[in-house]
Structure 1
Amino acid sequence: MKLHLTGPSNTKLNDTITITGSKSESNRSLLLAALFSDIKIENISNSDDAQVMAKGLKISEGTVDIHHAGTAMRFLTGYFASQEGKEVVLTGSKRMTERPIEILVDALKTLGAEISYVQDEGYPPIKIKGQRIVKDKVSLPANVSSQYISSLLLIAPSLENGLELELVGKITSVPYIKMTLALLDEIGVTTSFEGNLIKVSPKAKVAPTTLVVESDWSSASYFYGICALAAPGTEITLSAYKKESLQGDSVLANIYTAFGVETTFSNNMVTLKKTDKKIDAKNEFDLANAPDIAQTIAVTCFGLGVGCYLTGLHTLKIKETDRLEALNTELSKLGANIAVTDKTLTIVPSIGILEDIAIDTYNDHRMAMAFAPLAMKTTIIINDAEVVSKSYPDFWNDLKQLDFGIKEL
Structure 2
Amino acid sequence: MDISIQKSKLYNHQEIKITGSKSESNRLLLLQALYPQININNLSNSDDSVLMQKALATKESIIDIHHAGTAMRFLTAYLATQNGEEVVITGSSRMKERPIKILVDALLSLGADISYVENEGFPPLKIIGKKLSKHKVSLEANVSSQYISALLLIASKLDNGLELTLNGKITSVPYIKMTLSLLNEIGVETSFVENKITVKPNTTKLLPQTLVVESDWSSASYFYSIIALSDIGTEITISSYKKHSLQGDSVLAKIYQSFGVATHFDAHSIRLVKVEEAQTSNLEFHLSDAPDIAQTIAVTAFGLGVECYMTGLHTLKIKETDRLVALKVELEKLGAEIDITEASLKVNASKEIKSDISINTYNDHRMAMAFAPLGLKTSIIIKNADVVSKSYPQFWEDFKEIGFNLK
> What TM-score results when the alignment is normalised by the length of structure 1?
0.98
The whole-number CA distance in structure 2 between the counterparts of 1:361 and 1:282 is 29
1:326 matched to which residue of 2? Answer: 326
Greater CA deviation, 51-60 or 352-361?
51-60
The whole-number CA distance in structure 1 between the counterparts of 2:208 and 2:306 is 51
1:96 matched to which residue of 2? Answer: 95
Alignment of 1:3-152 (within 5 A): 3-9=3-9, 11=10, 13-152=12-151
Is the contact between residue 11 and residue 403 of structure 2 (CA under 8 Å) also seen in structure 1? Answer: no
Deviation sequence 1:5-36 (CA, Å, 0-9, x none) = 02433x46220000000000000000000000
The whole-number CA distance in structure 2 between the counterparts of 1:88 and 1:380 is 44
Deviation sequence 1:29-72 (CA, Å, 0-9, x none) = 00000000110000000000000001111134510000000000
Structure 1 residues 219 and 46: alpha-carbon distance in aligned structure 2, compared to 1, 3 A threshold: same
1:269 matched to which residue of 2? Answer: 269
Once the 2 structures are TM-superposed, how far is the Cα of residue 341 of structure 1 from its aligned partner? 0.7
Hey, which bits of structure 1, 4+ residues long, moved more than 3 A? none
Deviation sequence 1:136-177 (CA, Å, 0-9, x none) = 100011000000000000000111111000001100000000
Whether 1:400 and 2:400 are equivalent positions in the alignment is: yes
The whole-number CA distance in structure 2 between the counterparts of 1:112 and 1:293 is 36
The whole-number CA distance in structure 2 between the counterparts of 1:85 and 1:70 is 25
User: Which structure 2 segments of 5+ residues have no match?
Assistant: none
Once the 2 structures are TM-superposed, how far is the Cα of residue 288 of structure 1 from its aligned partner? 0.5
Is the contact between residue 12 and residue 233 of structure 1 (CA under 8 Å) also seen in structure 2? Answer: no
Is the contact between residue 262 and residue 274 of structure 2 (CA under 8 Å) also seen in structure 1? Answer: yes
The whole-number CA distance in structure 2 between the counterparts of 1:123 and 1:61 is 21
SS of equivalent to 1:238: strand
The whole-number CA distance in structure 1 between the counterparts of 2:206 and 2:59 is 23
Greater CA deviation, 331-340 or 196-205?
196-205
SS of equivalent to 1:354: coil
In the alignment, residue 167 of structure 1 is paired with which amino acid?
L
The whole-number CA distance in structure 1 between the counterparts of 2:84 and 2:60 is 9
Is the contact between residue 221 and residue 293 of structure 2 (CA under 8 Å) also seen in structure 1? Answer: yes
In the alignment, residue 298 of structure 1 is paired with which amino acid?
A
2:212 matched to which residue of 1? Answer: 212
The whole-number CA distance in structure 1 between the counterparts of 2:38 and 2:323 is 35
In the alignment, residue 125 of structure 1 is paired with which amino acid?
P
2:165 matched to which residue of 1? Answer: 166
The whole-number CA distance in structure 2 between the counterparts of 1:113 and 1:58 is 22
The whole-number CA distance in structure 2 between the counterparts of 1:124 and 1:156 is 23
1:391 matched to which residue of 2? Answer: 391
Q: How many residues align?
A: 406
Is the contact between residue 11 and residue 402 of structure 2 (CA under 8 Å) also seen in structure 1? Answer: no
Alignment of 1:359-398 (within 5 A): 359-398=359-398
1:282 matched to which residue of 2? Answer: 282
CA RMSD, Structure 1 to Structure 2 (Å): 0.9
**Percent identical:** 64
Is the contact between residue 217 and residue 250 of structure 1 (CA under 8 Å) also seen in structure 2? Answer: yes
The whole-number CA distance in structure 2 between the counterparts of 1:7 and 1:329 is 22
SS of equivalent to 1:158: coil
Is the contact between residue 291 and residue 313 of structure 1 (CA under 8 Å) also seen in structure 2? Answer: yes
Structure 1 residues 278 and 161: alpha-carbon distance in aligned structure 2, compared to 1, 3 A threshold: closer
In the alignment, residue 208 of structure 1 is paired with which amino acid?
P
Is the contact between residue 8 and residue 377 of structure 2 (CA under 8 Å) also seen in structure 1? Answer: no
User: Which structure 1 segments of 5+ residues have no match?
Assistant: none
Once the 2 structures are TM-superposed, how far is the Cα of residue 403 of structure 1 from its aligned partner? 1.1
In the alignment, residue 187 of structure 1 is paired with which amino acid?
I
The whole-number CA distance in structure 2 between the counterparts of 1:12 and 1:66 is 38
Greater CA deviation, 76-85 or 58-67?
58-67
Is the contact between residue 23 and residue 50 of structure 1 (CA under 8 Å) also seen in structure 2? Answer: yes
Is the contact between residue 113 and residue 131 of structure 1 (CA under 8 Å) also seen in structure 2? Answer: yes
